[in-house]
Amino acid sequence: MPWTQEQVIAAAPDAASVAAGRKLASPGPWSGTGATDALLWGSCQGSGKKPYQVSIDLTGPAFRCSCPSRKFPCKHAIALLLLWSAGAIADGEVSDFASSWADERASKAKTRSKPAAPVDPQAQAARRAERVAKMDAGVGEFSRWLSDLVRAGLAEALRRPLPWWETTASRLVDAQAPGLAERVRDTGADVVAGLGADELLERIGVWWMLVQAWNRRDSLTTSESADLHAALGWPTPTAEVRGGAVESRVWTVVGAHRDQKGRLAQQRTWLRDDDGRYRLLLETAGPGQSLGVPALAGARLRADLAIYPGAEPCRGLFVDTPEALEPHTRFGAGQTVDAALADAATAFATTPWRDRHPVMLADVRFGARHVVDPSGQSLELVEDTPSTELAAISGGRADHVFGELDGGRFRVLTVSVDGRVVPL
């Protein structure tokens, strides 16, 4: 089934790419177009002699274009999707360039699924001991820094310039705790931007809990230890995740969001199974790197998901390329605000340094700054909510709304209204 225009726009990297794609979304510059259930392809004549070859894997989605653009999808891919959405592309025999690209992707996926080479246990233990020693020293120094900060008072900390925070963050990076370093670096930027004393105190409390958890790590459960490592920035190897627990289910993509904080860009894609359990696909990109294209809200995927250790809702990654099924036009059961807050409280009590919690609310209406359930209970929306766009999509009401509870406020990611699932 062709994507809707809203789905095409949601896949675009920015508004400029959409505008450029619309200019090319006419049959004139295109030749050799075609589509199957899994692939979309075509050649677009540009300013040069040789047309650009565009291939799109609809199951990913993933994009390839021979143009020099560094955006994914580029304007040519967006134009091709818009043509397909308008019914201007017929089914056909796959072109050679699209077929070669699809075979290459399948080969790479098969290679990634091969077992990793055996690990030398002694070398692994030595590396781990070295890292633990660095982290012990770094966390100890950070603990003293926190004590000095509190002793001097929050008012003094709120007057500190960004380099003061950056110095501590750099030391934490050297101490092999990049996750904690990013929290400090982001807080420094927020202080310069006007962070309040209450929120700063809350963040300091979270940092102190991380310090205490590290010092008592031998008493933690496997799940608690995994969450602590993730918060500090000690990654779990992908091969280890793939070799662990795997869940084979049909998943619905319920929403996705991109954040840009400091040097890192982050993309979160939330999945939900038919029993209402959430899983998070997390992708990060540093300077010079690009994020992949998020799966479209409402997509239904049959897939094996390797699960990271940790408390619910867990992170996951696809073992193989998912199988695309008929997309959802509306979501399943939702919650009231009170039920959502109770679930979030349980999750945050288990992992107090968790930043966000997924929430699906049912039968809601939107105010200027709030989302309200049928009982009249409400959640405040995050400050950067695109209120005009939300009002245009929903008309002030929605059958379901999915989002993230973040710092006590609600970030709308997807709206289900009148048989349509629309990402915000």
Give tens-digit pLDDT for 327-359: 877 787 889 999 999 999 999 998 999 989 999
Give tens-digit pLDDT for 154-181: 999 999 999 999 999 999 999 999 999 9
Q: How confident is the model at residue 70 (pLDDT cuts 50, 70, 90)?
A: confident
Using a 10 angstrom Cβ sphere, with 0-12 exposed, 13-18 middle and 19 or more buried, the burial of residue 75 is buried
Q: Would the pLDDT of 50 be above 80?
A: yes
Q: Across all residues in the chain, what is the average pLDDT?
A: 88
Closest CA to 389 of 364, 358, 422: 422
Q: What is the pLDDT averaged over residues 61-84?
A: 88
Q: Would the pLDDT of 118 be above 70?
A: no
Q: Would the pLDDT of 116 be above 60?
A: no
Tell me what percent of the residues of the chain surpass a pLDDT of 70.
Answer: 94
What pLDDT sits at residue 119? 64
Q: How confident is the model at residue 393 (pLDDT cuts 50, 70, 90)?
A: confident
From the CA atom positions of the chain, what is the Rg in Å? 23
Q: How far apart are CA 380 and CA 240, in angstroms?
A: 39
SS3 of the chain: the string is: CCCCHHHHHHHCCCHHHHHHHHHHCCCCCEEEEEECCCEEEEEECCCCCCCEEEEEECCCCEEEECCCCCCCCCHHHHHHHHHHHCCCCCECCCCHHHHHHHHHHHHHHHHHCCCCCCCCHHHHHHHHHHHHHHHHHHHHHHHHHHHHHHHHCHHHHHCCCHHHHHHHHHHHHHCCCHHHHHHHHHHHHHHHCCCCHHHHHHHHHHHHHHHHHHHCHHHCCHHHHHHHHHHHCCCCCHHHHHCCCEEEEEEEEEEEEEEEECCEEEEEEEEEECCCCEEEEEEEECCCCCCCCCCCCCCEEEEEEEECCCCCCEEEEECCCCEEECCCCCCCCCECHHHHHHHHHHHHHHCCCCCEEEEEEEEEEECCCEEECCCCCEEEECCCCCHHHHHHHHCCEEEEEEEEEECCEEEEEEEEECCEEEEC
What pLDDT sits at residue 320? 86
Q: What is the pLDDT averaged over residues 262-277?
A: 85
Q: What is the pLDDT averaged over residues 193-216?
A: 94
CATH class of the domain at 238-325: mainly beta
What pLDDT sits at residue 290? 60
Q: What is the pLDDT averaged over residues 21-34?
A: 90
Q: What is the pLDDT averaged over residues 222-246?
A: 90
Q: How confident is the model at residue 414 (pLDDT cuts 50, 70, 90)?
A: very high
What pLDDT sits at residue 165? 95
Q: What is the pLDDT averaged over residues 34-54?
A: 89
Whole-model pTM over 0.75 = no
